């Protein structure tokens, strides 16, 4: 038997095979009817990850889902969950004279509470540069010893090890002119926040593939055991998603919630121990400020004592102030699974990708951007 090469395993056309997709959808129709009957007429699953939102929208599969199934977007886009107060702190850093701000491109157009974004700050004279890796920012700090270089670190357990690695490298190099923000959020506490809301109507979680590749399966066990909510770690190809939904539906129908791994070609039960070790060295669990939720203890990562000197917020003494959401924007409700983008009165009218009002329309992983581009 021919063994599939790694490239074939990860991007095989089988993951997009029409006949297999049709058979998965046929199975879904029967399962969704049974699951919905048990859940009062409809069954709601949340795709926690922004890339799942984009993949569902881009494939057009939502239109083929059985009418009883609703896929809700969750708090899985790193840009969208960053609180308005933290966006304001990013803009305050950009206003510090002489500082070079380095960032991934997604952060450029997220507006602060005064209507400015990093793009506008650049037009006003701030030195804001897009980089493709935080290591590029470290290299820039080496090349510009007379300037302070700040990397805008936001995201989840996926981006944190990459940024942690860059900070560890800066420490090894003895760089005194490199620092980063650590606006990192943790996915398992986010799930607990959602589930502890008595108004939540989530019957299952499609769990993020990349985050799970780092943290493994164990941190999700409480969802199935304490809250009795099914979980399936799912990949990003169309058949991954259809299979993941069917696995969730089977758990609902059987009444036996558990944490399953559809994406086992990438995600292992123990996660990535090397990345976990790096995370525990560079960061420590701390309070985090979430859009629409507020500041919640033990839901994020900040710098550990050993790496505290690399915290840009402390170095430049930038205070935190709560700031309101953009007027009329429903990103908060969307992130909590309480609304879909078309429920927002600004969607596609005052708010489009070229003149975004809220972060869910700005980010490449944002739910509003996905619905606008692909129609849901």
Which positions lie near ligand SF4, rule CB under 6 A?
Answer: 49-51, 76-77, 156, 158, 208-211, 329-331, 334, 341, 344, 346-347, 351, 357-358, 360-361, 365, 368
CB closer to ligand SF4, 31 vs 211:
211
Task: Decide whether 24 or 267 has the Cβ nearer to ligand SF4.
Answer: 267
Nearer to ligand SF4, 167 or 331 (CB): 331
Phi, psi at residue 31, to the nearest 5°?
-65, -40
**Residues near 226 by Cβ (< 8 Å), separated by ≥ 6?**
none
Min separation Cβ 238 and ligand SF4, Å: 16
Nearer to ligand SF4, 100 or 369 (CB): 369
Distance of closest approach, residue 354 Cβ to ligand SF4, in angstroms: 12
CB of 3 to ligand SF4, least distance (A): 28
CB of 283 to ligand SF4, least distance (A): 16
Supply the minimum distance, in Å, between the C-beta of residue 196 and ligand SF4. 21
State which residue, 101 or 357, has the beta carbon closest to ligand SF4.
357
Of residues 310, 314, 286, the one with CA closest to residue 299: 286
Based on CB atoms, which residue is closest to ligand SF4, 79 or 138? 79
CB of 96 to ligand SF4, least distance (A): 28
The residue whose Cβ lies closest to ligand SF4 is: 358
Q: Give the nearest distance from C-beta 330 to ligand SF4 in angstroms.
A: 4
Q: Which is nearer to ligand SF4, 59 or 177 (CB)?
A: 59
């Amino acid at each position: 038997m021919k063994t599939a090469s790694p490239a074939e395993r990860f991007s095989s056309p089988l993951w997009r095979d029409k006949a297999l997709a049709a058979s998965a959808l046929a199975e879904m129709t029967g399962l969704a009817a049974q699951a919905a009957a048990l859940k009062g007429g409809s069954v709601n699953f949340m795709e926690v990850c922004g890339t799942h939102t984009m993949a569902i929208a881009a494939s057009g599969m939502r239109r083929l889902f059985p009418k009883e199934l609703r896929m809700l977007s969750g708090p899985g886009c790193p840009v969208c969950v960053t609180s308005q107060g933290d966006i304001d702190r990013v803009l305050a850093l950009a206003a510090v004279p002489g500082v070079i701000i380095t960032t991934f491109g997604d952060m450029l157009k997220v507006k602060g509470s005064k209507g400015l974004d990093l793009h506008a700050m650049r037009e006003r004279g701030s030195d804001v540069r897009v980089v493709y890796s935080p290591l590029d920012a470290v290299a820039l700090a080496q090349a510009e010893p007379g300037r302070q270089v700040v990397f805008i670190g936001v995201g989840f357990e996926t981006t944190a090890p990459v940024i942690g690695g860059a900070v560890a490298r800066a420490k090894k190099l003895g760089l005194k002119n490199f620092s980063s923000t650590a606006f990192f959020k943790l996915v398992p506490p986010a799930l607990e926040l959602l589930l502890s809301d008595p108004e939540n109507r989530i019957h299952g979680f499609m769990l993020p593939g990349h985050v799970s590749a780092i943290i493994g399966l164990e941190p999700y066990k409480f969802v199935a055991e304490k809250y009795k909510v099914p979980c399936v770690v799912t990949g990003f190809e169309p058949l991954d998603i259809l299979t993941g939904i069917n696995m969730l539906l089977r758990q609902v129908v059987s009444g036996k919630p558990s944490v399953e791994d559809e994406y086992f070609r990438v995600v292992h039960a123990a996660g990535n121990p090397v990345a976990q070790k790096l995370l525990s060295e560079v960061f420590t669990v701390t309070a985090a400020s979430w859009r629409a939720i507020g500041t919640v203890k033990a839901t994020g990562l900040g710098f550990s004592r050993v790496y505290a000197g690399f915290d840009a917020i402390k170095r430049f003494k930038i205070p935190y102030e709560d700031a309101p959401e953009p007027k009329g924007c429903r990103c908060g409700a969307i992130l909590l699974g309480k609304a879909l983008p078309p429920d927002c009165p600004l969607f596609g009218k005052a708010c489009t990708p070229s003149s975004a009002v809220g972060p869910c329309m700005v980010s490449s992983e944002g739910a509003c951007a996905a619905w606008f581009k692909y129609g849901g």
